Structure formats: structure tokens, C-alpha cells
Amino acid sequence: MERIVVHDVGLRDGLQIEEQTVPTERKLQWLAQLAASGLDMIQVGSFVNPKRLPQMADTDELFRRLAASGAKRPGVIYTGLVLNEKGLERALACGVGYVCMGVSASDTHSRHNTGMGTIEATGRIIEMGRQALAAGVGVQLSVQSAFGCGFEGPVPADRVIGIARQFLDAGLTTISLADTAGHGNPGQVEALFGALAALGGGVSMACHFHDTYGMGLANVYAAWRAGVTCFESSFGGLGGCPFTAVASGNVCTEDLVHVLQRMDLRRDISLAALSDVAKDAAAFFGRDLPGRVHRTGPIPDHGKAAS
């Protein structure tokens, strides 16, 4: 079995919907705590117009501070989200080593999110992905609204797979399917990732689920059964896409890790360290966060029952 990879996107997808801006120093503190917990990947922020998403205005500064201070933890991959060519230029300029980019399978969501339709966005993202690879940067491409759209409703599976096939044909093999609206169900998730795996081409599969309707962790399990090895989540369950019809939080990192550990996977990740970040975020925003395990604590591990 391939190693399960946990990619926390809380500092980007978790914060982008919040009105209260988190100071750069607090973000750096959370970054350090998340890295120390044993996570594999951490998304630092997104390279977007700061007027559109003020919460992301310090992304360039965060990457520069991480590099200048030597605070990057060995073995942890620090990622940044890029939406367009200008964002990629900024990411490369401040030394980002791994970029995430996406195309929405919903034309309506794509126009809300990027100002482009799906066809135009796909061509541009593929070219950007090639440029990033040529610069020696790791690349993950996602198909957003892969399991349904809050504006359009059901999204045809063949449309999702068609976009993924274009990615693979361009040599971009790390592909995430994102449930931006939280419409996915476990049967649909297993079937769609099965179809993605069947494309071959050396595809490496990742997933990104929102818990809008309470199916997030069930979908994680279905994706794992289908062969997905990289799981995106957000500390405390923060977040949601501000450009979809019903914004809701991501699958919670602590809850995801707790499930994995109950399955005897990724026991090297510290739940206590992750919970500390979630508790601090709850205190900062002055409200309870959607995640559960940082409030309840994990199920006590009394050892395996005698056979």
C-alpha cells in the first residue's frame, strides 16, 4: 500500500472565506505548529488579487519569511495555489517549490471563480502547468466541482474525466478531484476515482472534499478504497470556496487524521499538535469551529483486544 499523504490547506482554503484577517505572525506560528505535527504538505496561501481576497494578501511575504528564516521543516512540502499567469509569476519569484492549480468542471463556477469559462481555463492552466514543471516546480492540477455544482447541479462524469485526460496528455500526472460544493456521495466518489485511475498514464490521485452536507469523511473513505493516496483537509474544519453557491468548511484535518489512526494509518502524525492549532484558531475567531476531535479528544487507545 502506498503511503497516505495529508495536505493541510487551512491557511488558504480555510482562511479565504474569513472576514477577520489573520496577522502574518499568527499564520507563521500556525505554519510552524502544523509542520511540527508531522503533516506531509501545507498550503501556505494563494497568489490571487489581494483586493479580491484580502486574507491572502501576505502569501508572497509568508513564503519569503519561511525561506529567509530557515523555518521550513525538512520533509514538509509547502504549497501555493495559483489561478492565473500573474499568480504563477509571483509564486516562482518568491521560491514556491510546489504549485496547485485547478479548472472547474462547472462553467458557471469557473466564471465566478476565475472570470473564464471551463474551456479557456483548461488551456491556460495546462500551459501554466508546463511552465511550472519546466522551472523545476512540483505541480498538482485539480478538477473543481467534480462531484456537482451549487449553481448547475449535477456535473457529468465524462466532463470531469475529459479534463483529467487533457492534463495527463500534457504530462501533468498529479490530479486532484475536488468536491467544491460538497455534493459528492461515497458511491459517486469511488466510481469517479475508479474512472480516473483507469486512464493510466502514471496518474497520482488526490482528493479535496467539503463537508457541506455531512458526507466529507465518508467520501474520504470511498476515495481511499478507490486508490487515492493524497488527502486535502483544513485544521478545525475551516473554510469553503467563497465563489460557490453554498460555502462550507473542508474536511477537518484532526478528524481525518483520527480516522486514519483508527485504521492503523499515519500514527506518526500528532493529533495533539493539530488540535492545538484548531483550538488557537477557534480562540482567535471567537467561535467554535466545525471540527470535532479538537473538542472531544481522540478515542482512547487502550490497545488491541486479545484475539
Q: What is the CATH number of the domain that holds 63?
A: 3.20.20.70
Cα separation, 108 vs 105, in Å, equals 9
109 within some domain: yes
Which stretches within the chain are classed as H helix? 24-36, 59-69, 85-93, 107-114, 118-134, 157-169, 186-197, 216-225, 253-262, 271-285, 293-296
DSSP secondary structure code for residue 109 in this structure:
H
Residues of the chain where predicted confidence (pLDDT) is lower than 70? 1, 240-248, 302-307
Angle at 28 between CA 26 and CA 33, to 5 degrees: 95
In a domain, 99, yes or no: yes
Rounded Cα gap, residues 281 and 289, in angstroms: 8
Place of cell 474520504: 220
Taking the CB of residue 34, how many other CB atoms lie within 10 A of it?
Answer: 24
Q: Residue 241 has what pLDDT? A: 53
Using DSSP's 3-state secondary structure scheme, residue 82 falls into strand
What digits encode the pLDDT tens for the residues 160-197? 999 999 999 999 999 999 998 899 999 999 999 999 99
Quick check: 8 and 233 in contact, CB under 8 A?
Answer: yes
Residue 106 lies in a domain: yes
Specify whether the CB–CB gap between 252 and 234 falls below 8 A. Answer: yes
- Which residues are CB-contacts of 113 (< 8 A; sequence separation ≥ 6)? 83, 104, 144, 241, 243
Please report, for residues 85, 104, 110, 150, 300, the alpha-carbon distance to residue 121 in angstroms, rounded to integers and kept in the order given: 11, 8, 8, 19, 47
For the record, the C-alpha cell of 116 comes out as: 473564464
**Structural domain range at position 95:** 5-295
- At 59 the pLDDT is 98
The residues that are catalytic are 241
Q: Which of 144, 145, 157, 150 is nearest to 187 (CA)?
A: 157
Task: Cell 487507545: give the residue.
Answer: 301
Question: What's the CA gap between 209 and 144, in Å, rounded?
Answer: 10
Between the alpha carbon of residue 136 and those of residues 70, 180, 214, the distances in Å are: 21, 29, 39
DSSP 71: -
The pLDDT score that the predictor gives to residue 283 is 96
Distance CA 256, CA 285 (A): 22
Assigned domain for 307 exists: no
Q: How many domains does the chain have?
A: 1
d(CA 175, CA 291): 26
Residue 213, all three cell numbers: 452536507
